[in-house]
Amino acid sequence: MKLTGHPYRLRRIFLVIALGLGAILLFMRAVQLQVLNHDFLSSQGEARYARVVPVAAHRGMILDRNGEPLAASTPVESVWVNPQEFTATSAQFRELSQLLGTAPDVINSTIYAHASDEFVFIRRQISPEDAQKVLALKIPGLALQREYRRYYPAGEVTAHALGFTDLDDKGQDGLEYAFESVLHGTPGKRKIIRGPHGHVVDEVESLREPEPGRDITLSIDRRLQYLAYRELKAAVQRHGAQAGSAVVLDVQTGEVLAMVNQPAFNPNKREELHGDQTRNRVATDMFEPGSTIKPFTVAAALESGKFRPSSMIDTAPGFFKVGNATVHDIHNYGRIDVSTVLQKSSNVGVSKMALEISAEQVWTVFTRVGLGSKTSAVFPAEAAGVIKNYRQWHEVERVTAAYGYGVSVTALQLVRAYAALADNGRIRPVLFTRADDRAQIVNAGEQVFRPELTAQLRRMLETVSQEGGTGTEARVAGYRVAGKTGTVKKSQEGGYAEHSYLAVFAGFAPMSNPRLAMVVMVDEPQGDAYYGGQVAAPVFSAVMSGALRLLNIAPDGSLTLPARVALLEGGR
C-alpha cells in the first residue's frame, strides 16, 4: 500500500487530528468548569434561584395574673416589591392602589426612590384577606411578607403599664420593653426556590425553625386595673387636673396589681403617640411627697425613744419660725399628742419632733423604706428620686424634709414604703410578674421596722380616716382603712407656686390584716377642692371598695354602714 494508495488518506488524518483536538479542548473545558471552578459556579447558580428567607417568629403574649390576655400579636401581611422586576399594567396598578388605599403617585414615587434596590415595602401591615386579593392581581415583582401586629384588648387602661412595640414588633416602652428578651422570638430561616418573577416555586428545606417568644404572666389584675383607671380618670376630669397616677400593691408580696395614669393613649393607634402621654408617671415622675412622708418622720421619732404615741406636742400658735422660714398649720391645734399630729397633719408638730431627734435618724428611716432609690431593676426609665444626704441638711431642710419638701420620690416608692408599714415593717422589691411561689415571697423581705412600731403607726394612720381626720373621704364601707393625705405646693423656678398643688393620698386596707396598699396622685386640680383629702382620698375609697370585694377580702369594719355577720352552723 503506497502512501497515495487511499484517495482520502490525508483527509482522514486531518479529520482524526481535528476531532481529537476538539475532544481534548472540550474535555479540558469540562474539567475547568466541573472540577476547578465547580464551587464558585454552583454557588452562583444557586444564588440565581435559591434564597434563604427569614421566617418571622411569634411574639409571646402578655397575660394578666388570671390569664386574661393583655397584649397579643396577630399575623398581618406587608406588601413589598422588587423595583427591578416590578411591571404592572395600568389596570393592575389602579386596582393595587385601590386595595392598598394608597394613591398611585405615592406608590410610584416609593418605587422610584428605591429604583436601584431589590426590596421596598409599599404598604405595611394589611389584613391577610386584603393581602390575598393583592396577590391575586399577579403583578410581577410584587410579594408579601408576613409580619405581626400587637393588639391590646384593654386599650388605654393598660397602656402605660404595658408600653408598646414598634412596627417590627420590638418592645419600645413599658413592660413590653422590660421583658423584650422573654417575649421576643428568634426568627427562623428557610431555603426556597424562586421563579423568574420572584414568586416562590418550592420550599426546599428549613434551616432553622423559628422560635416563638414566651408568654409572660404579669402581676397586674385586669379588673383592678380597670377599676383604678376608671376612678382616676373620673377624678382628673372632675377636678380639671393636668395629670394623675394611681398604683395598687399587694402588701404581702410586693406585686403591682394596678398601675394607671392620666392622660392616657390608645396603644392600638400607634400613629397618635407622643411622649407626654406615654410616660408612665407612676414610675418615672418624681414629686415632693408632702404630708404623706409624715408617718416616716414619726417612725423615726418613735424609734429614737424620745416620743411615744401619747407624747404631747405644743403646736400653738399654729406656726413657728425656723431660721428665716416659717412653718404653718391650717389651724391652731394647740397641745396635741403624736397620733393627733398625724390625724390633723400638723406641720408644726412634725417639725418640732424632727428637731428633737437627729437629722441622721430621719434620713435613715426614709432611706430604709426605699425612698430615693429604685424599687426594682425591671421598669424602664424608673426614676430613683432625690433625698440629699443628711450631712448636707441645714436646719430649715431638716424641718421641711419632716413634712415632705426638699425630697422627691415616685408613686411607686411611696406605695412600697406604705406597704412596708402595712406588712409589719417588711420591705421587698416591687414585682411586675405574678409571684408563683407566694409562700416563699411572703416570708422574705427585709425587716426595716420593729413590728410593734408599725402596729402603732397603723393605729395612728387609721385615725386619719376617722372623724376629725383629714382623710375621712378615704373610708370604705365595711372595712377599716388607714392612710395619709398630702397636699403639696408644686415647686417652680425660684420657689413654690401659689395656686398649683398636688393632691396625694397613700394608704392601705383592711386595717386588721392589710392586703392592699395604694397611692393616688392628682396633679394640679383646679377649683376650690384641691386637698389630698378632697381629691385623691375619694379615688382611694372607690378603688379599694371595689378591689377588696373583687379579691374576696373579708370585711373587718363597720364604719358607717355596718355589714351584718351571720355565722354558719359548725363554724368557728
Partner 1 sequence: MSARAILVALLSLAVLSTALGVVYSKHETRRLFIGVQRLEAERDRMNFDWVRLQLEQSTQATQARIESIAHGKLAMNIPPQDSVVIVGR
Residues that bind partner 1 (CB under 8 A): 58, 61, 68-69, 72-75, 151, 153-154, 157, 203-206, 222-223, 226-227, 230, 477-478, 549, 554-555, 561-568, 571-572
d(CA 294, CA 305) in angstroms, rounded, equals 17
- Phi and psi at residue 104, in whole multiples of 5°? -55, -40
d(CA 327, CA 348) in angstroms, rounded, equals 6
- Contact assessment for residue 60 and residue 214, using Cβ atoms and an 8 Å cutoff: yes
Q: Which helix (H) or strand (E) holds 359?
A: helix 359-368
Nearer to partner 1 among residue 50 and residue 384 (C-beta): 50
- Contact assessment for residue 386 and residue 372, using Cβ atoms and an 8 Å cutoff: yes
Pairing relationship of beta strands 495-509 and 243-250 according to DSSP bridges: unpaired
Rounded to 10°, the helix 222-238/537-550 angle is 160
* CB neighbour burial string for 259-296, b if at least 16 within 10 angstroms, e if fewer: bbbbbbbebeeeeebeeebbbbbbbbbbbbbbbbbbbb
Q: Which helix (H) or strand (E) holds 454?
A: helix 451-464
Nearer to partner 1 among residue 478 and residue 486 (C-beta): 478
CB of 516 to partner 1, least distance (A): 18
- Contact assessment for residue 355 and residue 327, using Cβ atoms and an 8 Å cutoff: no
Nearer to partner 1 among residue 224 and residue 448 (C-beta): 224
Nearer to partner 1 among residue 197 and residue 230 (C-beta): 230
Cα dihedral 536, 541, 542, 548, rounded to 10, equals 140
Known active-site residue 291: yes
Set 291, 339, 345, 541: catalytic member: 291
What DSSP string runs through 384-433? --B---GGG--HHHHHHHHTT-S-BB-HHHHHHHHHHHHTTTEE---BSB
Nearer to partner 1 among residue 157 and residue 220 (C-beta): 157
Nearer to partner 1 among residue 71 and residue 357 (C-beta): 71
Which grid coordinates belong to 416? Answer: 412600697
Rounded to 10°, the helix 411-422/294-303 angle is 40
> Which positions are catalytic?
291
